[in-house]
Amino acid sequence: MPAQTPSPWKVPLVRELAIILLIKLALLLAIKAVWFDQPTVPADGSRVTSQHLLGDNRPSEAEKESAR
């Protein structure tokens, strides 16, 4: 007859770690629900994104300077 393996839940350290992890998960979900419930999109978000990715059409300060 094979020997039965003891349940890991009988070890106090395993129980304590599991409880701590459950508390942390609950706190993270609560924080997410309170502070990150709706996405924040700026009014001109697509314009800012396109300028950031594609560059600005205005000449830079170095291009504005004339030769000396």
Confidence of residue 56 (pLDDT cuts 50, 70, 90): confident
More confidently predicted of 6 and 25: 25
Instruction: Give the mean pLDDT of the chain.
Output: 82
- Is residue 58 predicted with pLDDT exceeding 70? no
CA angle 28, 34, 40 (to 5 degrees): 110
Confidence of residue 8 (pLDDT cuts 50, 70, 90): confident
Total Cβ atoms within 10 A of residue 51: 13
Structural contact between residues 48 and 42, judged by C-beta atoms closer than 8 angstroms: yes
Give the residue-averaged pLDDT of 2-21: 90
- Cα 15 to its chain centre, rounded Å, is 28
- The pTM (predicted TM-score) of the whole model is 0.52
Structural contact between residues 9 and 15, judged by C-beta atoms closer than 8 angstroms: yes
Domain ranges of the chain: 8-36
**What CA–CA distance (Å, rounded) separates 60 from 15?**
62
